[in-house]
Amino acid sequence: MDCGKYVAYPPVEISDRTWPDKRITTAPSWCSIDLRDGNQALPVPMNVEEKLEMFRLLIDIGFKEIEVGFPSAAAVEFQFVRRLIEENLIPDDVTIQVLTQAREHLIRKTFDALKGVDKAIVHLYNSTSTVQRDVVFKMDREEIKNIAVKGARLVRELKEASGNEGIRFQYSPESFTGTELDYALEVSQAVMDAWGASESDTMIINLPSTVEMSTPNVFADRVEWFCRNIGNRETVVISVHTHNDRGTAVASTELAVMAGAERVEGALFGNGERCGNLDIVTMALNLYTQGIDPGLDFSNLAYIGDVYRKNTRMGIHPRQPYAGELVYTAFSGSHQDAINKGMKARKASGNGCWDVPYLPIDPVDVGYSYKAIVRINSQSGKGGVAYIMEKDFGYEIPKWMQPYFGAVIQSQVDQSGRELFPEEIHELFGREYIRLNEPYSMKKCHINWEDEDPGRDDEVSTTITCTLQHNGHENSFAAKGNGPVDAFVRGFVRQTGLDFGIDEYAEHAIGHGSDSRAVAYIRIKKAGGRESIGAGIDSNISLASIKAVLSAVNRL
């Protein structure tokens, strides 16, 4: 690789820059470019019906400005704009935007497409970059500026001829990032003068990083320099339109807003030419996680993704911020444990402020559930397994049991070499503990309480009579204890000679009301120190506890 053929991007001479000390406190105005810039980048561009479905989606999200197409470029684009207007499909509070090159016949056709529109933005552009001037157009600076000025004058004339005061004007010095700053300013100022921009008739100057060529801070410097030096600043709205060639379109846009940009153009999930445009979902939700209302509704992000995939035939990367299939999922054991503890701590505290490890946003806010936060593979730990068992199936596995069951799951993952799904984990729990009926299984059990002094907690007042099956033979015994479990253990030890004691115990209900069941967890320890874990389920908590003892015994 020969890096010597590349030249570093020039810095901006702006020693007293102010944007690094700024904070974004309100959302910019948003313009969706999904139906134009996003559409032109698709291997199979959308047809009219697909564009209509996407248009309705963008309205539902809350976009008030939507660039709907390039009506002079293709029949489908022209037809789509006409359909929106003729069928009165544009809400009163939404302004459509159409793109045109600064060429007379294209501008005139654009106005033909807009006949009868209530409100619209005519977006005029021509490339101003050094390399485009020299290589593509072979024109000097003055000639390129004249193209832009002539286009602006024609747009003004056609607006006045139409009598439509709802038409606004936007100009983009295309390839702003490849244009000398002083020249970009000179052209934009000339266009403003030709348009006759005023406080009562403001226009939009859109500064596109048509190709992303620098670090985000340099782009912010360019935007701040431009905002400072443009004349009659109060007559113009500064907009930015970033691409993602360096992978920093979101950062560039955020810093540009700090530097003075008031308006942002972008696409859902960053769709656009080459590496894409600004991902407007990411930037909007970045603001949301800072307590700033973005003014866009992404509370059903999965549905938005489905409509997007259907109509664009494009995928969404599993690691796409906020929207990817895996972005709310933890496989790492330490991450799973931290998420599990964080969720429980938040629930216990009642604090409305979101502060859960590894989750910068509450998945519920964008329409996702907590089910897929933790998934189990070879990198997972006991905390993740416990989280799934509790959230999906209601088992609150005690901490002292988690390492044992975690080891069971880890062994299975190592054998299979793949992720285990929640149903498989639940099945393993049942197989390893609940349905473990060999070598001992219970055939009958009767419990009788004879508590003569309820105030005493050491009274041997419970009698149990059990029939167990062991290796095909039934054995019965009766015993007394200070509770069902104590009585059972005493009788079992006396009957079998297997000496052990209860080391840990936990229980809770699964479900609510008359259909609820009890689950018990027990750790037993033999005299020599050997331990075993068991679990049992029954509608009767005493029987669930006895089943848990048998489960632990069988695991010995």
pLDDT at 374 over 70: no
pLDDT at 458 over 60: no
Burial category of 540 from C-beta neighbours within 10 Å (exposed 0-12, middle 13-18, buried 19 and up):
middle
- Total residues found in the chain within this entry: 556
pLDDT at 377 over 80: no
Give the C-alpha separation, 275 to 41, whole Å: 10
Q: Using H for helix, E for strand and C for coil, what is the string for 444-501?
A: EEEEEECCCCCCCCCCCCEEEEEEEEECCEEEEEEEEECCHHHHHHHHHHHHHCCCEE
Q: Per-residue pLDDT averaged across 263-290, rounded? A: 97
Query: pLDDT (tens digit, 9 = 90+) per residue, 65-91?
Result: 999 999 999 999 999 999 999 999 999
The confidence score (pLDDT) of residue 556 equals 82
Give the C-alpha separation, 340 to 406, whole Å: 15
Burial category of 370 from C-beta neighbours within 10 Å (exposed 0-12, middle 13-18, buried 19 and up):
middle
The confidence score (pLDDT) of residue 380 equals 61
Query: pLDDT (tens digit, 9 = 90+) per residue, 427-444?
Result: 999 999 999 888 998 899
Grade residue 457 by pLDDT with cuts at 50, 70 and 90. low
Find the DSSP H helices in 329-421.
Answer: 333-349, 382-393, 402-416
The confidence score (pLDDT) of residue 313 equals 96
Give the C-alpha separation, 201 to 279, whole Å: 30
Per DSSP, the residues of 307-320 read HHHHHH-----TTS
The pTM for the full model equals: 0.76
Residues 6+ apart with CB under 8 A from 226: 181, 184, 185, 188, 207, 238, 260
Give the C-alpha separation, 184 to 97, whole Å: 22
CB 265 within 8 A of CB 232: no
| 95-101 and 462-470 beta bridge pairing | unpaired
The confidence score (pLDDT) of residue 453 equals 58
Grade residue 456 by pLDDT with cuts at 50, 70 and 90. low
The confidence score (pLDDT) of residue 216 equals 98
Higher per-residue pLDDT: 442 or 111:
111
Higher per-residue pLDDT: 153 or 415:
153
Q: Per-residue pLDDT averaged across 237-266, rounded? A: 98
Grade residue 280 by pLDDT with cuts at 50, 70 and 90. very high
Grade residue 163 by pLDDT with cuts at 50, 70 and 90. very high
The confidence score (pLDDT) of residue 376 equals 52
Query: pLDDT (tens digit, 9 = 90+) per residue, 130-149?
Result: 999 999 999 999 999 999 99
Q: Provide the 8-state DSSP code for 21.
A: G
The confidence score (pLDDT) of residue 19 equals 98
Cβ atoms within 10 Å of 67's Cβ, excluding its own: 26
Give the C-alpha separation, 30 to 45, whole Å: 23
Q: Which CATH class is domain 25-312?
A: alpha beta
CB 150 within 8 A of CB 107: no
Token pair 């299975």: residue:
412
- Classified as helix, coil or strand, 205 is strand
Q: Per-residue pLDDT averaged across 102-115, rounded? A: 97
Token pair 């226009």: residue:
203
The encoded tokens of residue 207 equal 């500064």
Query: pLDDT (tens digit, 9 = 90+) per residue, 477-533?
Result: 999 988 899 999 999 999 888 889 999 999 999 887 777 899 999 999 987 789 999
Amino acid in position 268: L
Give the C-alpha separation, 489 to 498, whole Å: 10
Fold exhibited by the domain 440-555: Double Stranded RNA Binding Domain (3.30.160)
Grade residue 455 by pLDDT with cuts at 50, 70 and 90. low
Give me the residue spans of the domains in the chain. Answer: 25-312, 333-433, 440-555
The encoded tokens of residue 58 equal 């963008």
Query: pLDDT (tens digit, 9 = 90+) per residue, 469-482?
Result: 988 889 899 999 88
Give the C-alpha separation, 120 to 68, whole Å: 10
Grade residue 373 by pLDDT with cuts at 50, 70 and 90. low
The confidence score (pLDDT) of residue 375 equals 56
Grade residue 329 by pLDDT with cuts at 50, 70 and 90. confident
Q: Per-residue pLDDT averaged across 341-363, rounded? A: 87
Of 233, 323, 295, 269, nearest to 30 (Cα)?
295
CB 534 within 8 A of CB 550: yes
Per DSSP, the residues of 46-64 read --HHHHHHHHHHHHHHT-S
Q: To the nearest whole number, what is the mean pLDDT of the chain?
A: 92
Q: Per-residue pLDDT averaged across 450-459, rounded? A: 59
